[in-house]
Structure 1
Amino acid sequence: MLVSALLTSLGINSGLCVLFFILYSILRNQPSNYEVYVPRLLVEGNSKRRSHFNLERLIPSTGWIKRAWKLSEEDILSSSGLDAVVFMRVITFRLWIHFSAVYILTIFVCYLLYHEYKYISSKRIAYFYSSKPQPRQFTILVRGIPVSVGSSVSESVESFFTEFHPTTYLSHMVVRRTSKLRSLINEAKTLYKRLLHLRSEPSQHKYIRIGFFGQKVDLVDHYEKKLEDIEQNLRLEQSDLSLADETRAAFVSFKSRYGAAIAFHIQQSINPIQWITELAPEPDDVYWPFFSSSFMRRWMSKLVVVVACILLTILFLIPVVVVQGLTNLSQLEIWFPFLKSILTITFVSQVITGYLPSLILQLFLKIVPPIMEFLSSIQGYISHSDIEKSACNKVLWFTIWNIFFATVFSGSVLYLVNIFLEPKDIPAKLAVAVPAQASFFIAYVVTSGWTSTASELCRIIPLIYSLVTRFCKSTDELEVPSLPYHRDIPRILFFALLGITYFFLAPLILPFLLMYLCLAYIIFSNQFKNVYMPKYETAGKFWPIVHNSMIFSLVLMHAISIGIFTLKKLSIASTLVFPLPVLTLLFNEYCRKRFLPIFIAYPAEVLMKKDKEEANDPAMAEFFDKLVTAYQDPALLPIRYSVNSNSLNSPLISSADV
């Protein structure tokens, strides 16, 4: 790629970033756009719509930048949770490691990784101490429950835990297959929204003629009756749940956190595939469709997901090859000879080779996170947070393979496979291929980093949706979004990989990365304050993904440096660098032993201390009363959409039945 082409890409993306900042400064001040740009503040009651006209709203302002930059870590923690703090610290942590050489960089990065792991581990413990009692702290999920002839799953659970955990066992909730109920509930919700929309329309649009000569029917009455029928069917389906609808799984709650931890850590049965325990998520975080699948179906789903990920990786090489062709004018003239005259125009050639390749790649990458989230959802995870963590890992390694390695080597699938089948040749081939793509990755940082992050401010798709629903007079409830961590964490970590691998090959990339990180810090601080609200809390469990990615980036940088020193016939230098990947992997193993267990489960010391603090708290009695029914499937709860829904207010299945 020519320098002029790079400058063209830089100019276009810089202009787009400035444009997004200006548009955001104006659009965010308009009361009609508050539901797009400050939905969280509206829901929390910290912002009110002002109807009177004010000329200052049309003037771009920069005050929000200063407020976002000065937003403290404690403010983010209190408003958006520890996951948001971890996300922001991922950004600030890359801010520091782009200024050192191979040895110094490795030592510095490992020191920072250790410090961050230790810091976030302590934050995780402190967050636990400061939190109120939560159902997940007292509950585990038990699967593979054996059932004797003539007995039910509920009776088996009651008998087992009463016998083997008599002093700590509190209650249980058997999981049932409710996929049919969920479909009825979704149908009722859709019909209810349609009713709300009809009621807001003029009266002449509320009638429909049945047949050519039939009479007019009031649509509101028609949909009301239909909604009542659906609710009645739902009521019947809920009442008809039998023992056959039980799964071999149950949420088991205990009287103390320590009691739940003991049940989780100890093998419950001589047969290791029976009474399998795992930590329960929060009730709102449970992914209920998972329980509707049999063991064989979950196993097959995992196999399908692996095959699907491989196929997606192979198919994605097509746009990568196209992008690489666009960076080469001579290749373009071969592919499209009729464009030869147009490609001779300097500006056109600069745009095509400098800006278009990274833009096309970015557009194709937009579809990857939702696909990976869907694949993770059918893989058998029991919570939305686990699904998102799995999707985060998938997106990260998909990006590293398809954007870094496929772009660097610019070859076929077989060529890429052959490279990694010959490990001894990997450093030399990386040393030749990686520096050749430096200008492309600089343009990629500008396009995927600067412009994409700046566009986050304007929230273009939600803005368009808001305009359409406003035009159609839709009455949908305001939903505050949560940050899709599986989309943004892999992007930041990929840029970290580029910074580490290119800092001594092409230092020109560092200012662009530094600019991206500053933009990301300001923009996401602003969005955490005004837009996003957490829908679940993992208490920092995304950090091990960050740590593993950084270790991989360091080892990759070591391999490239060894290859370069070998090609330059500097055997002493390559020999001195060789211990670094070994020491880095040993450091990683130490961190795994030292910190990772805290991110899997809280230690007994912490649990016992928290239990003792709350032992005499009178509010705990009320909490345990609610804990008994906390894990009831929402599909078993009555819905109240139709006018005549008073008969649906009573619970369908009592806790004694489950």
Structure 2
Amino acid sequence: MLVSALVTSLAINSGLCVLFFVMYSVLRKQPTNYEVYMPRVLAEGNARRGSRFKLVRLIPSPGWVMRAWKLSEEELLSSSGLDTVVFMRTITFCLKVFTFAGIIGIFVLLPVNCTGTQLHEIDFVNFSNNSLDVFTISNVNNASKRLWIHFSAVYVLTIVICCLLYYEYRYISSKRIAFFLSSKPQPHQFTILVRSIPVSVGSSVSETVESFFKEYHPTTYLSNIVIRRTSKLHALINEAKKQYKRLVHLQTGPSQQKYKRLGFFGHKVDLVDHYEKKLEDIEQSVKLEQSEVSLAEDTQAAFVSFKSRYGAAIAFHLQQSINPTHWITEQAPEPNDVYWPFFSSSFIRRWVSKLVVIVACILLTILFLIPVVVVQGLTNLSQLEIWFPFLKSILTITFVSQVITGYLPSLILQLFLKIVPWIMELLSSIQGYISHSDIEKSACNKVLWFTIWNIFFATVFSGSVLYQLSIFLDLKNIPSKLAVAVPAQVRSGISCGNVLQTSLLFW
């Protein structure tokens, strides 16, 4: 990749960043987007939708950026909660790390690399046509003492990052403890979920759970609730929530939206009355389903409540049976965070589900190497001309070659990466978790490891190893050859980082 290609990629990404800032600044002012950009303010009744057109809504204003950064942590904590504070601390932590790494890279490592002559010297007269290889460690002369500067920089950067991580972890931990001590006790903190309950003949699940915990936790046990299969009931409740949201939206919206014609030739109906009747019908169906659920067969799972949070924690951390597949305890999720499909599943089913998900993640990682290899081929014009001879005339155009080698590979890679979180969340949902937060956490971990492998390892090694297959023919010289090939391939990571920043801003 040439310096001109990197500049082209940087210019495109900078233009997209400005465009996204302008779009956000305009869209957040539109009344139809209040549910997206200010749902809490709308729910509290502190915002009203204006039906009249105002020109000021179409003029972008950057004042929201300064107001967002001027907020103190106390204001963020009181208005948006601890999660927002941790998120902002994460952003500032990343800025500190990248600032320190940028200072070392620009003022220490870059001069060391540029003054090397291993590849070739920099042409300052025609600077834009220089290859990015001269700015990497591969341009440092072999056996040069300047390589110790790179080693020292790695150690210094690692030590600084570890110190910053320790400080941030200690600070956020103290905030979490203070938040926990100041908040009111929640019901799920006194409750655990018990699954795979071995029920003896002639007794119910509730009687088995009560006798077991009264025997082994007599001073802390309070009560239990047996879980029953209620998929139809949950579907009705979810439908009622959707209808209620529509009803609230109609009641708070303009009056002309409250009437609608049924079909092409039907009469106009009052949508408020229409949805109220639907809610009444759903209410009757819920009552009927509740009576049927009370007669349904119990599952081998139950919520067990204790008199104190300490008692619940003790029961959660202790193994309740010699057989590890019986009396399996988990922390109870919050009421609005429950994911019901796997509550009644057996230990074997959950174990098989985890195994299937692991295999699926491995296959996805392997299959993703296909676009990675294609993307790496786009960074090399000579390889691209061999693969697609009919593009030779187009590739001679300077701007086209700069876009193809500097921006297009990273854009293609990021487009493929956009579908990964949805796939990982789908796989995590069938892994046996009982809460939506656990599913999201598992999906985030999968995406993290997937990104580490495909971006930081597979992207680097695929281009260099596929381009020089002879590396594996001489086993003794593999480290030395990789030391030359890998830094030369990392140039694609620079443009990938530019596109990644733009895509994260858009996301």
SS at match of 2:192: strand
1:66 offset after TM fit, Å? 0.6
Partners of 2:377 and 2:463 within 8 A in 1: no
Matches for 1:253-264 after TM superposition, within 5 Å = 253-264=305-316
In structure 2, C-alpha distance between the alignment counterparts of 1:423 and 1:47, rounded to whole Å: 68
In structure 1, C-alpha distance between the alignment counterparts of 2:352 and 2:464, rounded to whole Å: 30
**1:376 aligned onto 2:434:** no
In structure 2, C-alpha distance between the alignment counterparts of 1:26 and 1:223, rounded to whole Å: 33
1:10 offset after TM fit, Å? 0.8
Taking structure 1 as reference, are residues 104 and 11 closer, same or farther at Cα in structure 2, changes over 3 Å only? Answer: same
Taking structure 1 as reference, are residues 140 and 224 closer, same or farther at Cα in structure 2, changes over 3 Å only? Answer: closer
1:34 offset after TM fit, Å? 2.6
In structure 2, C-alpha distance between the alignment counterparts of 1:194 and 1:72, rounded to whole Å: 36
In structure 2, C-alpha distance between the alignment counterparts of 1:303 and 1:122, rounded to whole Å: 37
Partners of 1:377 and 1:387 within 8 A in 2: yes
Matches for 1:417-432 after TM superposition, within 5 Å = 428=480, 431-432=483-484
Which of 314, 332, 335 matches 2:387? 335
SS at match of 2:47: coil
Taking structure 1 as reference, are residues 372 and 423 closer, same or farther at Cα in structure 2, changes over 3 Å only? Answer: farther
Matches for 1:219-618 after TM superposition, within 5 Å = 235-241=287-293, 245-410=297-462, 428=480, 431-449=483-501, 451-456=502-507
In structure 1, C-alpha distance between the alignment counterparts of 2:476 and 2:401, rounded to whole Å: 39
1:314 offset after TM fit, Å? 1.3
Partners of 2:195 and 2:344 within 8 A in 1: no
> C-alpha deviations, 1:391-441, integer Å up to 9, x for none?
11100010111122111011699999xx99x99988656533432233311
In structure 2, C-alpha distance between the alignment counterparts of 1:453 and 1:282, rounded to whole Å: 30
SS at match of 1:410: helix
Partners of 1:6 and 1:443 within 8 A in 2: yes
1:236 offset after TM fit, Å? 4.0
Taking structure 1 as reference, are residues 317 and 48 closer, same or farther at Cα in structure 2, changes over 3 Å only? Answer: same
> C-alpha deviations, 1:355-376, integer Å up to 9, x for none?
1111111111111111111111
Partners of 1:179 and 1:292 within 8 A in 2: no
In structure 2, C-alpha distance between the alignment counterparts of 1:56 and 1:288, rounded to whole Å: 47
1:224 offset after TM fit, Å? 9.5
Taking structure 1 as reference, are residues 438 and 129 closer, same or farther at Cα in structure 2, changes over 3 Å only? Answer: same
In structure 2, C-alpha distance between the alignment counterparts of 1:224 and 1:42, rounded to whole Å: 22
1:133 offset after TM fit, Å? 1.2
The aligned counterpart of 1:85 is 85
**Aligned-CA RMSD value:** 3.6
SS at match of 1:45: coil
In structure 2, C-alpha distance between the alignment counterparts of 1:444 and 1:83, rounded to whole Å: 29
Partners of 1:6 and 1:439 within 8 A in 2: no
Give the alignment's TM-score, normalised by structure 1. 0.61
The aligned counterpart of 2:123 is none
Taking structure 1 as reference, are residues 60 and 108 closer, same or farther at Cα in structure 2, changes over 3 Å only? Answer: same
Partners of 1:178 and 1:292 within 8 A in 2: no
In structure 1, C-alpha distance between the alignment counterparts of 2:466 and 2:65, rounded to whole Å: 48
In structure 1, C-alpha distance between the alignment counterparts of 2:380 and 2:283, rounded to whole Å: 62
In structure 1, C-alpha distance between the alignment counterparts of 2:60 and 2:246, rounded to whole Å: 39
Matches for 1:87-236 after TM superposition, within 5 Å = 87-97=87-97, 98=101, 99=103, 101-183=153-235, 185=237, 200-203=258-261, 205=263, 235-236=287-288
Name the aligned partner's letter for residue 404 of structure 1. F
Structure 2: which 5+ runs fail to align? Answer: 105-152, 251-256
The aligned counterpart of 1:43 is 43
Matches for 1:23-42 after TM superposition, within 5 Å = 23-42=23-42
Partners of 2:464 and 2:486 within 8 A in 1: no
Taking structure 1 as reference, are residues 294 and 177 closer, same or farther at Cα in structure 2, changes over 3 Å only? Answer: farther
Partners of 1:188 and 1:230 within 8 A in 2: yes
> C-alpha deviations, 1:157-210, integer Å up to 9, x for none?
12222333233222221122223443455566778899999x9454463867xx
The structure with more radius of gyration:
2
SS at match of 1:281: coil
SS at match of 1:375: helix
Taking structure 1 as reference, are residues 345 and 279 closer, same or farther at Cα in structure 2, changes over 3 Å only? Answer: same
SS at match of 2:201: coil
